[in-house]
Amino acid sequence: MNHLRLQTRFILAGCLLVAATIGSSLGSVWTFAQITKATDDAVRYSQEIIDLSAEIHSSLEREDDALLLFLTGQIDTARRGLAAERQRGDAALERLIHRLRTDSAEQQHLAATLQHNVAQYRTAGDALLATTDRNGGLETYHQTVNPRLREAVAGCDFLREKNFRRMQEAGVAARDQAALGTRWVVAISLGSVVLGITVAVWLARTVLRPIRELTESVEDIRRGHFNRRVTISSQDELGQLALGFNRMAEALAEYRQSSLGELLAAKMTLEATLNALPDAVVVFAPGGSIAASNAPAHELLAAQGAATAERLADIPLPAEYRTAIETALAGRSPPAHGFDFTRTLTVVLRGQPRRLLLTAVPIPQFAPSQCGAVAVFDDVTEFARLDELRSELIGMASHELNSPLTALRMNLLMLCECSQPLIGRPRELLAAAIAGCEELGRTVEELLDVSRIEAGQLRLNRTAVDLSTVLAAVVNTLQTRFEDAGVRLVVTAEPNSGSFRVWGDSARLANVFANVLGNALKYSPAGGTVWVSLSSGQNADFGAADSVQIAVTDEGPGVPEPFRERIFEKFFRVEHHVGRRKEDVRGSGIGLYLCREIIYSHGGTIRCEPAHGSIGTRFVITLPAGR
């Protein structure tokens, strides 16, 4: 209809209004017809009550005939007829009471009275059947049975007559109401038709000129002629519309004169700020299209062979980076990984290899009800190099320390074997020195494992391992330390130990259990308890059915929620970040990192969560069940 003139549209609208009015009238007539139908249903209902009353009446008369036959001596015929009529009467009476169950209280009272009278009549009839005196029975019939019959029959007749009158009244009233309503609907429909035609013609004549002028003015504004104004010829809605249009045109003219320069300056400032940033910054609009980028970003895209990229899908990025940006576009913050230099993107910029780390941040309300995202590629080349140098230094120092430490430990052990005469303080000092060597040896071994992991040289000696046996050995080794610290160690496991077998390196897994239990011991207060539970997958809190779960729960101070992932990073200590330092709690900060890497290499998971009741920490290790 866009090609039709506005006047034609209004005339068509008027015709539609007329059609709608006629349809409404016909609908109303149909409604009244439905009312008439409902009334007819009510009439049929009353007729059914009348028919049932008549049937009960007839049944009672037939019962009375059977009683008279009994008095004449036809006992068998009378009894058969009486039983049949009573069955017919009971069925009709039951249907009558069921039909009147939802009727008025008066109708229900009449039905109850009728039921009572019928019962009394049948009681009197049963008494007559019990007599053996035929002459006396006739007198009993006239004195007790027949009067009860008359009462019951009168009740049927009264109920039938009342419903007959009710049926007549309902029919007459319904027809009168339907006829009156129909006349009203027809009158309203005719008035609506006349009114609709009048309104349509009036609208077509009075609205066309102002609308045409408004249309021409809008077109002028679109072309940039902000000085165009509309003539205000009335004070009605069209006049208000014309006044609002003139005010809008004035505001647009002022805005164009005063704000255009500011907008351009703001845009130039934003672009200059982005270009001044040393890191590559790419702004993505909703849907993934590139909205803005700075000079380092252009250089990065060119190095990736995507200089003409217009969307996120056109940029060759690792799947992890692409997922992080898509998550930000969805309005969610991607998970924080810290400075994990294994996730860096290596590119060649200006002939030099550079390592970049992505930070994706959502931009709420980038567009109405839509979210954008900004991706910052931080240049962490120097930091990554420092991390590599630190790892190399740790590896080299660990190797260099291992040989003299081994010699020192062997000499101390030999001295211990030859130190039987030593007693008291000298023997305690020697035992402390040996314990210090053992602890230093474990630290050196952990540092060597870190070097192996970072070099990708960690080797696992996989065999069929029973975790319950490995755990029992570790617990037996640490039991004395727990007793000395006054901490109770409770271990629970499912009865079926055969379900705890995995395919893995028993020595490495024992190291994991020792680290986690040692960590729980460090932070448990004296008098506290550490619980260790071993369960199969179907009974575990998480994990597949073909998995084994080990949970270690302590009563220590707990790990704050922001650090529950970071505690598995190298050299991370919670005490250094929350100001909670214990002089007697020592550690290198690499134990949990090694645990995570060893468990990951076995295809399992390890997580930190609050203990039940939010008191303490719970470490959960899940490993796939093996042979």
Distance CA 319, CA 322 (A): 5
Is 349 exposed, middle or buried, given 0-12, 13-18 or 19+ CB atoms closer than 10 A?
A: middle
Strand runs labelled E in 247-389 = 280-284, 290-293, 345-349, 352-367, 370-379
Q: Which helix (H) or strand (E) holds 324?
A: helix 319-329
Would you tell me the crossing angle of helices 208-222 and 146-206 to the nearest 10 degrees?
60
Give the domain ranges of the chain: 26-202, 207-274, 277-379, 386-454, 463-624
Greatest mean pLDDT range, 12-16, 145-149, 177-181: 145-149
Q: Convert the pLDDT of each residue in 554-604 to its tens digit.
A: 988 888 888 888 888 877 777 665 655 554 455 567 788 888 888 988 889
Given CATH 3.30.565.10, say whether it is the number of domain 463-624: yes
- CA angle, 133 then 137 then 139, to 5°: 130
Establish whether domains 26-202 and 463-624 are of one fold. Answer: no
Instruction: Tell me what pLDDT residue 27 has.
Output: 64
The dihedral built from the CA positions of residue 452, 453, 455 and 461, taken in this order, carries a sign that is: positive
Pick the CATH number of 277-379 from 3.30.465.10, 3.30.450.20, 3.40.1360.10, 2.60.40.10: 3.30.450.20
Q: Convert the pLDDT of each residue in 121-136 to its tens digit.
A: 778 777 777 776 666 6
Closest CA to 321 of 297, 305, 337, 303: 337
Residue 524 scores a pLDDT above 80: yes
Q: Convert the pLDDT of each residue in 394-444 to its tens digit.
A: 656 556 666 676 777 677 777 666 655 666 676 667 777 776 776 666 676
Instruction: Tell me what pLDDT residue 4 has.
Output: 47
3-state secondary structure 174-215: HHHHHHHHHHHHHHHHHHHHHHHHHHHHHHHHHCHHHHHHHH
Greatest mean pLDDT range, 8-22, 50-64, 314-328, 339-353: 314-328
Instruction: Tell me what pLDDT residue 552 has.
Output: 93
Instruction: Tell me what pLDDT residue 90 has.
Output: 77
Instruction: Tell me what pLDDT residue 605 has.
Output: 92
Given CATH 1.20.120.1730, say whether it is the number of domain 26-202: yes
Residue 38 scores a pLDDT above 90: no
Residue where the block lists tokens 């207060």: 525
Distance CA 91, CA 55 (A): 10
Picking from 113-127, 259-273, 299-313, 325-339, which range would have the lowest pLDDT averaged per residue?
Answer: 259-273
Amino acid 348 reads: V
Residue 197 backbone dihedrals phi, psi, to 5 degrees: -65, -40
